[in-house]
Amino acid sequence: MEPVLDPDVLAFYERGGEETRLSQEPGGPADSRLEFLRTRDVLRRVLPAPPARVFDVGGAAGAHAVWLAADGYEVELLDPVPLHVRQARAKGIAARQGDARRLPRRDASFDAVLMLGPLYHLPERADRVLALAEARRVARPGGLVAAATISRWAPLHDGLVRGFLFAPGRLDATLETLRTGHQDGGTGLFTEAYFHDPADIAGEFAEAGLGAPVTYGLEGAAWLPGGMRDRLDDPEQREAVLTALRVVETEPSLLGASAHLLSVATV
């Protein structure tokens, strides 16, 4: 059987960054903090009320599983990276190794299936559709599938704001990524990945047998200047950021401004 992950992706995650990436420590990386806060904000509004069974597929070290369990959900996590499984178990999460394309669970086992990660590491469309179809299969009728993607335009915006677009060869490589959606590993920027044109997400859901998803832009334009850190440290300003982003979260003309998108469909 083929390994689940490309060796570059496995090596990237075995470095252990997921343990702290979404940390809410004051002064931590603002983009990731905003991604976490917005993901939680949307999920808390769309998930069935606890207690309910949630499958966190590609859940890494358990950043979301931990608050979901604290909110009263019965959470199971699956991830292909052995380190992530150990880290999630150390937090008391029921975690096992596996692949989003072959979920080791019976039909209709969960009230909600989260796929916050696998789709942007599956470069082939057929694999992404297979993963979504598996999510649909293990979710109960009337349940929910929520899948994260990264915007096609995120590498361009990130490169402009953080300046790496101006390094030798990066502009051409980024333009190629915009054309195809694919980014090679070994660039020192993230890892091998697939970036979705927001307009393509609904087609992948439909092919997997899911209804039309509602797609939420998570960070909006708030990640672009990279200046949200101090605002997220301040409780009042953090609430203002979240309130502002809720207003534009499903505005179609702004979806591609977000780095991360969350698409939610009822089964």
Ligand X SMILES: C[S@@+](CC[C@H](N)C(=O)[O-])C[C@H]1O[C@@H](n2cnc3c(N)ncnc32)[C@H](O)[C@@H]1O
For 101, the token pair is 């394309």
* Phi, psi for residue 86 in degrees, rounded to 5: -65, -40
Which residue in 117, 155, 217, 220 binds ligand X (CB under 6 A)?
Answer: 117
For 3, the token pair is 């390994």
Identity of the residue, 81 or 264, whose beta carbon is nearer to ligand X in the bound complex: 81
Helix/strand/coil for 56: strand
Closest distance to ligand X from the beta carbon of 216 (Å): 14
Closest distance to ligand X from the beta carbon of 37 (Å): 12
**60 makes contact with ligand X (CB under 6 A):** yes
For residue 22, how many other CB atoms are within 10 A of its CB?
A: 20
Closest distance to ligand X from the beta carbon of 257 (Å): 19
Q: Which of residues 80-99 bind ligand X (CB under 6 A)?
A: 80-81, 84, 99
Which residue in 30, 69, 95, 100 binds ligand X (CB under 6 A)?
Answer: 100
**195 makes contact with ligand X (CB under 6 A):** no
**118 makes contact with ligand X (CB under 6 A):** yes
Q: Give the span between the Cα atoms of 131 and 113, in whole angstroms.
A: 11
Sign of the Cα pseudo-torsion (132, 135, 141, 142, in order): negative
**79 makes contact with ligand X (CB under 6 A):** yes
Identity of the residue, 36 or 153, whose beta carbon is nearer to ligand X in the bound complex: 36
Identity of the residue, 100 or 245, whose beta carbon is nearer to ligand X in the bound complex: 100
Residue 247: exposed, middle, or buried by beta-carbon count in 10 A (0-12, 13-18, 19+)? exposed
Contact predicate 99/80, CB 8 Å: yes
Closest distance to ligand X from the beta carbon of 153 (Å): 18
Beta strand residue intervals within the chain, DSSP E: 53-57, 74-79, 94-97, 110-115, 139-150, 182-183, 193-194, 214-217, 260-266
Which x/- pattern, by CB under 6 A, does the window 14-43 give for ligand X? Answer: ----x---x---------------------
**116 makes contact with ligand X (CB under 6 A):** yes
**62 makes contact with ligand X (CB under 6 A):** no
Contact predicate 261/151, CB 8 Å: yes
Closest distance to ligand X from the beta carbon of 9 (Å): 6
Closest distance to ligand X from the beta carbon of 60 (Å): 3
**245 makes contact with ligand X (CB under 6 A):** no
Contact predicate 61/84, CB 8 Å: yes
For 86, the token pair is 């150990």
Point out which residues bind ligand X (CB under 6 A). 4-5, 13, 18, 22, 57-60, 63-64, 79-81, 84, 99-101, 116-118, 121-122
